[in-house]
Amino acid sequence: MQIRTRKQSNFFIILLVLTVVCIGCAQEETERNTKEFQTEYERIKVLKVAGDLERPWSIAFLPDGRKMITEGPGRLNILENGELTVVNGTPEVNDRMNGLLDVVLHPDYEENGWIYLTFSRPGPDDNATHALVRGRLNGHDFVDMEEIFVQNRYSDPCARCASRLAWDSEGYLYMSIRDIWENKILAQDLSDHSGSILRLNDDGSVPADNPFFDDPDAAGEIYSYGHRAIQGLVIDQVNNEIWATEHGPRGGDELNYIERGNNYGWPVVSLGRSYSDDKEFEDEWTVARHKEGMVDPVYELLPTHAPSGLALVTADNFPSWQGNLLSGGLAGQRIRRLVIKNYTVIHDEELLLFEIGRIRDIREGPDGNIYILTDGNPGALYMMEPA
């Protein structure tokens, strides 16, 4: 028979009290970082999951429940149990503004382990360009890294580099590349990757059925062109429909339905306004708000939204939102819930206006909840779940 001394009993009592206090502190911290909101059709709870992020750009989900978050200065982080760990061996970036960009897993990740990263690739004279690598995780090391695509033009600055990645249901990878502000008309040049969406095989090679594959004067990777700055890209895996949001110059923020070979008009066509006044946007190339042969946006996001991050609601966590698009806004500091019917936005609800800051990315997680990255100073990761 084991007999405890009074000193041992006191120790266990103190330990029990400390455990209860710690649990209470953790509960208080969670409650402090949680807010509830009533939307039009759903009551939601928004929980801050991680903070102290430096210019985060994207989030992806590992099968074991861990999350990966990219940060502008070139860090790929793994978030586990509330702790961030930096992955070693990721590519060198030009981080003058946007360095390390998007991160996605291969659709067959559990078989091949491939992780894809877009980034601002350093070049001569502090120039940069968009590039794409893939690699695998070995503990906290990024190994087997392959550079599988490099944009065919460096520019100064590519501090404005912006890129999103998305897979279709057939295993093709789509990559957006923003325009070059100082030479915007390149978005109309099929020989140049600027201002386009690319369609790639998983090894970075060009699919033979791409729309301009057989055109000797075109870059075969291009799937659509005439884009300004796509920072939201999502593909409906059931219907294989591609949706993208992109920045206008001032106003003119667009939701586009992307189809092969289409020209979306920038900079010849723009719905935006002048930066100095409320006149229609004008420069040496912009001639109209609409032009034959150029595709108008499905929807103009007004007032100014500065869209970044786009998610499609597919899970049943938010039944009233199924099939809706969620568009994050930087300047707008909100989420726009877009209800679409026959490729037309029939309803637009504003969520979380000025509640959590500038929204850089928004994704539906494997658990059906919505994950939101903000890029304030510092940035943070939030989770939206049913209340």
Radius of gyration (C-alpha) of the chain in whole angstroms: 23
The candidate with the shortest Cα–Cα distance to 98, out of 145, 51, 130, 134, is 130
Domain for residue 260, yes or no?
yes
CA-based torsion, 85, 90, 92, 94: positive or negative: negative
Domain for residue 196, yes or no?
yes
Whether 100 shows a pLDDT value over 80: the answer reads: yes
How many domains does the structure of the chain reveal?
A: 1
- Tell me the C-alpha distance between 137 and 145, whole Å: 10
pLDDT in tens, 12-56: 555 554 444 444 444 555 556 899 999 999 999 999 999 999 999
Which amino acid, one-letter code, is at 154?
A: Y
- Tell me the C-alpha distance between 226 and 33, whole Å: 42
Sheet holding 222-225, edge to edge: 165-167, 173-177, 196-200, 222-225
Domain for residue 154, yes or no?
yes
Domain for residue 138, yes or no?
yes
pLDDT in tens, 344-358: 999 999 999 999 999
The predicted structure's pLDDT at residue 21: 43
Domain for residue 269, yes or no?
yes
CA-based torsion, 334, 340, 344, 345: positive or negative: negative
Q: Are 188 and 269 in contact (CB under 8 A)?
A: no
Is the pTM higher than 0.85? yes
pLDDT in tens, 267-311: 999 888 766 666 666 666 666 789 999 999 999 999 999 999 999
Domain for residue 92, yes or no?
yes
Average pLDDT over residues 118-129: 92
Domain for residue 149, yes or no?
yes
Q: What is the largest CA-CA distance in the chain?
A: 93
pLDDT in tens, 137-159: 999 999 999 999 999 999 875 55
- Domain region containing 275: 50-287
Domain for residue 245, yes or no?
yes
- Tell me the C-alpha distance between 129 and 120, whole Å: 5
Here the CATH number for the domain that contains residue 70 is 2.120.10.30
The candidate with the shortest Cα–Cα distance to 134, out of 96, 168, 94, 167, is 167
